Amino acid sequence: MTDVNDRFPALLDYIGPDAGMFYCVHHHWLFEYCWSAKERLDVIDTEKPPHERAIRRRHLCRVKPEDGNIPAQVWAEGNRLRDEGNRLWAEGNRLRDEGNRLWAESERLLEPYRAELQQTYLRLIPKCRWNGRAIVFGDNP
């Protein structure tokens, strides 16, 4: 019987979860939550120095409760806290998006006053390089 690879996501036969607690997601942490082991491997393969890639891939390993004799209630509480963190993260994204929508609306309210605002701005800034669309950085403003 062949052992099932539910530990080492860098190996082709990995069938474990993509997200969860993993060892050595980053080189300076023994374990941490990883949103996606596949994405982490992609980062290792494309952004890390070539001489580090094989070592980093070999060290990425899924944590299981039995590794540290972690009681089921501790593991469950960790999962609960991560779920709540994910909920708050999503709520934060929703609030950020709503904030961006409101900021954009506040800018739209000023649009009818653009010409007057631009005239005032041109008077306020000595040697203004605003051309009506952008600040010009070249030699010919």
pLDDT band of 140, cuts 50, 70, 90: low
pLDDT tens per residue across span 47-68? 999 999 999 999 999 999 999 8
pLDDT band of 110, cuts 50, 70, 90: confident
Higher pLDDT, 138 or 20: 20
- pLDDT in the model for residue 17: 96
14 Cβ contact partners less than 8 Å away, ≥ 6 residues apart: 5, 6, 7, 8, 37
**Torsion angle defined by CA atoms of residues 134, 135, 136 and 137, in that order, rounded to the nearest 10 degrees:** -140
Q: Which of 67, 10, 1, 4 is nearest to 34 (CA)?
A: 10
- Rounded CA separation 75/111 (Å): 54
Helices (H), 4-71: 37-47, 50-59
Whole-number Cα distances in Å, 123 to 33, 65, 118, 119, 130: 54, 67, 9, 6, 11
Average of per-residue pLDDT across 31-58: 96
Q: What is the pTM of this model?
A: 0.68
